Structure 1
Amino acid sequence: MPNNTPIILIDGSSYLYRAFFACPPLTNAKGEPTGAIFGVINMIRSLINQYNPTHIAVVFDAKGGSFRNEIYSEYKATREAMPENLRPQIEPIHTILKAMGLPLLCIEGVEADDVIGTLARQAERENLDVLISTGDKDMAQLVSDKITLINTMNNSVLDPKGVMDKFGVPPEKIIDYLALRGDSSDNIPGVPGVGEKTAQSLLTEFTSVKDIYTRLDDIEKLSIRGAKSLKQKLIDNQNEAELSYLLATIKTDVKLDFTNEQLLITDIDVNKLVELFAYYGFHRWQKELIAGTFLKQQKNGIVGESLSLLADQQHSTTAQKKETDYQCILTHEQLDDWVIKLTNSKQFAFDTETDNVDHVHAKLVGISLSVEPYQAAYIPLAHQYLGVPDQLPLTEVLAKLKPVLENPEVKKIAQNAKFDYSILANYGIKVNGIAFDTMLESYVLNSTERHDMDSMANRYLNHKTITYDELTKVDKKKVTIDAIEVEKTTQYAAEDADITLQLHEKLWPELEKDQKLTKLFTDIEMPLAIVLAEMERTGVLVDAKQLNDYSIELTKQLMEIEAQLQSLAGEKFNPASPKQIQAILFDKHNLPVLKKTPKGDPSTSEEVLSELANEYELPRMILFYRGLAKLKNTYTDKLPLMISPIDHRIHTNYNQIGTITGRLSSNDPNLQNIPVRNEEGRRIRQAFIAPKGCKIISADYSQIELRIMAHLSQDESLLNAFAHDKDIHRVTAGEILGKAESEVTNEERRRAKAVNFGLIYGMSAFGLSKQINIPRKEAQFYIDRYFERYPGVQQYMEQTRQLAAEQGYVETLSGRRLYLPKIRSTNGIEKRGAERAAINAPMQGTAADIIKTAMIKMSEWIKNQSTDNIKMVMQVHDELVFEIKDAFVEQYCTEIKKIMENCYQLSVPLKVDVGIGNNWDEAH
Structure 2
Amino acid sequence: MSRLVLIDGSSYLYRAFHALPPLTAPDGSPTGALFGIVNMLRATLKENPDYVAFVVDAPGPTFRDELYPQYKANRPPMPDELRAQVEPMMQIVEALGFPILRVPGVEADDVIGTLALQAHEAGIPVTISTGDKDFAQLVRPGITLTNTMTGSITDDAGVVEKFGVRPDQVVDLLALMGDTVDNVPGVEKCGPKTAAKWLAQYDSLDGVMAAAADIGGKIGENLRAALHRLPLNRELVTIKTDVALEQAPQALKLRERDADALRGLYARYGFNAALRELEGGKPDPATRPAQATLAAATHAAEEAPDPALAAPGEYECITGSDALAAWVERLQAADLVSFDTETDSLDPMRANLVGLSFAVEPGKACYIPVGHDYPGVPAQLPRGQVLDALRPVLQDAGKPKLGQHGKYDLHVLRRHGVEVRGYAEDTMLESFVFDAGGLRHDMDRLARKHLGYQTIKYEDVAGKGARQILFSAVALDDATRYAAEDADITLRLHRVLSAKLAGEPTLQTVYRDIEMPLVPVLARMEATGVLVDAAELRRQSADLSQRMLAAQQRAHEIAGRAFNLDSPKQLGALLFDELKLPVVVKTPGGAPSTNEEALEAIADQHELPRLVLEYRGLAKLRNTYTDKLPEMINPDTGRLHTSYHQAGAATGRLSSNDPNLQNIPIRTADGRRIRTAFIAPEGRRIVACDYSQIELRIMAHLSRDAGLLRAFESGQDVHKATASEVFDVPLDEVSGDQRRAAKAINFGLMYGMSAWGLARQLGIGRGEAQDYIALYFGKYPGVRDFMERVRQQAREQGYVETVFGRRLQLAEIHSRNQAQRAGAERAAINAPMQGTAADIIKRAMVSVDAWLAGHRDQAAMLLQVHDELVFEAEAGFVDTLVAEVRRRMEAAASLDVALVVDVGVGRNWDEAH
TM score, norm. by length of structure 1: 0.70
1:533-572 to structure 2, matched below 5 A, reads: 533-572=523-562
Asked whether the equivalents of residues 430 and 498 of structure 2 are also in contact (C-alpha less than 8 Å), the reply is yes
Alignment of 1:56 onto 2:29:
yes
- Note if 1:767 corresponds to 2:705: no
Match 2:455 to one of 445, 462, 465: 465
Query: Are the counterparts in 2 of residues 787 and 793 from structure 1 also a CA contact under 8 Å?
Result: yes
Task: Output the aligned Cα RMSD.
Answer: 4.0
CA distance in 2, matches of 1:360, 1:297: 47
Residues 817 and 295 of structure 1: CA distance in aligned 2, closer, same or farther (over 3 Å): farther
SS at structure 2 position matched to 1:671 = coil
Deviation at 1:359, TM superposition (A): 1.4
Report the 3-state secondary structure (helix = DSSP H, G, I; strand = E; otherwise coil) of the residue aligned with 1:692.
coil
Alignment partner of 1:809 is 2:777? no
Q: Distance in 1 between matches of 2:525 and 2:39?
A: 50
1:150–1:157 contact (8 Å) kept in structure 2: no
Cα deviation for residue 510 of structure 1 reads 0.5
Alignment pair present for 1:912 and 2:880: no
Match of 1:76 in 2: none
Are the aligned partners of 1:20 and 1:36 in contact in 2 as well (CA < 8 Å)?
A: no
Whether the 8 Å CA contact 2:643–2:659 is kept in 1: the answer is yes
Question: Helix, strand or coil for the counterpart of 2:911?
Answer: helix
Q: Please tell me whether the aligned partners of residues 371 and 383 of structure 2 are also in contact (alpha carbons under 8 angstroms).
A: yes
Aligned to 2:619: 629
Query: Contact conserved, 1:150 with 1:156, CA < 8 A, in 2?
Result: no
Pair 1:510 & 2:503 matched: no
Matches within 5 A, 1:420-819: 420-449=409-438, 450-473=440-463, 477-613=467-603, 615-819=605-809
Q: Is the 8 A contact 2:73 2:182 kept in 1?
A: no
Equivalent residues of 2:17, 2:32 under 8 A apart? no
The SS at the match of 1:552 is helix
Amino acid at match of 1:397: V
In structure 1, which of residues 360, 367, 371 is the aligned counterpart of residue 356 of structure 2? 367
Matched, 1:879 2:868: yes
How far did 1:348 drift? 1.6
Structure 1 segments unaligned to the other structure (5+ residues): 1-18, 25-34, 61-89, 100-133, 159-182, 190-284
Deviations 1:259-300 (A, max 9, x none): xxxxxxxxxxxxxxxxxxxxxxxxxx9x999x8986644686
Which whole-Å CA distance do the structure 2 matches of 1:20 and 1:184 have between them? 25
Distance 2:907 2:356 in 1: 42
Structure 1 counterpart SS, 2:76: helix
The CA deviation at 1:808 is 2.3
From the superposition, tell whether residues 483 and 706 of structure 1 become closer, same or farther in structure 2 (CA, over 3 Å).
Answer: same
| Change beyond 3 A, Cα 1:606–1:408 | same
Partner SS, residue 138 of structure 1: coil
CA distance in 2, matches of 1:571, 1:188: 43
Report the equivalent of 1:257. none
* Aligned 8 A contact 2:309 2:362 in 1: no
Q: In structure 2, what is the equivalent of residue 107 of structure 1? A: none
Deviation at 1:186, TM superposition (A): 9.0
* Range that drifts further, 388-397 or 148-157: 148-157
Residue aligning to 1:129: none
Gaps of 5+ in 2: 43-71, 91-99, 106-178, 186-253, 284-304
Q: Which residue is 1:73 aligned to?
A: none
The residue correspondences of 1:303-342 to structure 2 (distance < 5 A) are: 307=275, 314=282, 318=307, 322-342=311-331
Match of 2:406 among 406, 417, 429: 417
Q: What is the CA-CA distance between 1:36 and the residue it aligns to?
A: 5.9
Change (3 A) 1:53 1:560: farther
Cross-structure match for 2:174: none
Distance 2:382 2:741 in 1: 67
Q: Structure 1 142/858 Cα, relative in aligned 2: closer, same or farther at 3 Å?
A: closer
2:782 partner amino acid: G
1:41 offset after TM fit, Å?
8.1
> Residue 827 of structure 2 corresponds to which residue in structure 1?
837
The change in CA–CA distance for 1:325 and 1:736 in structure 2 (over 3 A counts) is same
The Cα shift of 1:806 comes to 2.6
Partner amino acid, structure 1, of 2:16: V
Structure 1 residues 187 and 607: CA distance shift in structure 2, 3 A: closer
Confirm or deny: 8 A CA contact 2:31 2:85 kept in the other structure: no
Q: In the aligned structure 2, how far is the partner of 1:148 from the partner of 1:441?
A: 43
**2-structure distance, mates of 1:292, 1:802:** 51
CA 1:650–1:511 in 2, change beyond 3 Å: closer, same or farther?
Answer: same
Deviation at 1:744, TM superposition (A): 1.4
Residue 351 of structure 1 pairs with residue 289 of structure 2 = no
Which residue is 2:77 aligned to? Answer: 139
| 1-structure distance, mates of 2:272, 2:746 | 61
Secondary structure of 1:647's counterpart equals: coil
Q: How far is the alpha carbon of 1:763 from its aligned partner?
A: 1.8
Q: What amino acid is aligned across from residue 77 of structure 2 in structure 1? A: M
Structure 2 CA distance for aligned equivalents of residues 837 and 474 of structure 1: 39
Cα pair distance change 1:564/1:845, threshold 3 Å: same
CA distance, structure 1, for counterparts of residue 786 and residue 756 of structure 2:
22
8 Å CA contact 2:266, 2:274 repeated in 1: no
Write the deviation string for residues 424-469 of structure 1: whole angstroms up to 9, x where unpaired.
Answer: 1112211111111001111111122211111111111111111122
Over 3 Å counting, the alpha-carbon distance change for 1:916 and 1:724 in structure 2 is same
Deviates more, 1:319-328 or 1:819-828: 319-328
Q: Tell me the amino acid that sits aligned with residue 139 of structure 1.
A: P
Deviation at 1:829, TM superposition (A): 2.3
Secondary structure at the residue paired with 2:892? Answer: coil
Residues 356, 57 of structure 1: alpha-carbon distance in 2 compared, 3 angstrom cutoff:
same
Kindly name which structure, 1 or 2, has the bigger radius of gyration based on alpha carbons.
1
- Distance between the aligned counterparts of 1:42 and 1:482, measured in 2? 52
The alignment partner of 2:282 has SS state of helix
CA deviations 1:376-433 (Å, max 9, x no partner) are 1001011111111101000010001000011122211100111111111112211111
- CA drift of 1:318 comes to 3.3
Change (3 A) 1:95 1:679: closer
Structure 2 partner of 1:40: 16
| d(CA) in 1 for partners of 2:398, 2:822 | 50
Distance change >3 Å, CA 54–CA 699, structure 1 → 2: same
8 Å CA contact retained: 1:701, 1:911:
yes
The separation in 2 between residues aligned to 1:384 and 1:834, in whole angstroms, is: 52
Separation in structure 1 between the aligned mates of residue 755 and residue 770 of structure 2, nearest angstrom: 5
Q: 1:609 to 1:844 in 2, by over 3 A?
A: farther
Q: Distance in 1 between matches of 2:73 and 2:519?
A: 54
Does the CA contact (< 8 Å) of 1:149 and 1:157 recur in 2?
no
Separation (CA, whole Å) in 2 of partners of 1:604 and 1:633? 20
Name the SS of the counterpart of 2:656 in structure 1: strand
Shift of 1:572: 2.4
Within a 5 Å distance, the mapping from 1:401-412 to structure 2 comes to 401-412=390-401
Q: Residue 379 of structure 1 aligns to a residue in which SS? A: strand
Matched position secondary structure for 1:351 = strand
1:880 to 1:301, Cα distance in 2 relative to 1, 3 A: closer
Amino acid at match of 1:307: L
Structure 1 position 893 matched with structure 2 position 882: yes
Which residues in structure 2 correspond to 1:221-232 (within 5 Å)?
none
Q: Which region of structure 1 is more displaced relative to structure 2, 449-458 or 572-581?
A: 572-581
Return the offset for 1:319.
6.6
| Alignment of structure 1 residues 104-253 onto 2, 5 Å | 138-139=76-77, 185=181
Give the drift of 1:21.
11
Distance 1:20 1:42 in 2: 22
| 1:846 paired residue number | 836
SS at match of 2:495: helix
Report which stretch shifted further, 617-626 or 338-347: 617-626
